[in-house]
Amino acid sequence: MVAGVVLDVPRKELDALRKRFARRNRYAINVEVHEIVFANAVELWHDIRDRSPVDTGNYRDSWELIYSGLDALVITFEEYAMRLEYGFVGVDSLGRHYAQSGQPHITPSYWEARERMRKDMADLAERIVDGKL
CA–CA separation, 133 and 38 (whole Å): 19
Strands (E), the chain: 3-8, 64-68, 71-76, 87-91, 97-101
pLDDT at 115: 93
Q: Which of 14-18, 42-46, 128-132 has the lowest mean pLDDT?
A: 14-18
Residue 27 has pLDDT above 90, yes or no: no
Q: Which helix (H) or strand (E) holds 25?
A: none
Q: Considering the entire predicted model, what is its pTM?
A: 0.80
Whether 34 and 69 have beta carbons less than 8 Å apart is answered as yes
Helix (H, G, I), strand (E, B) or coil at 75: strand
Residue 37 has pLDDT above 70, yes or no: yes
Q: What is the pLDDT of residues 86-131, one digit of tens each?
A: 999 999 889 999 999 999 999 999 999 999 998 998 898 888 877 7
CA–CA separation, 30 and 23 (whole Å): 14
What does the pLDDT average to over 69-89?
91
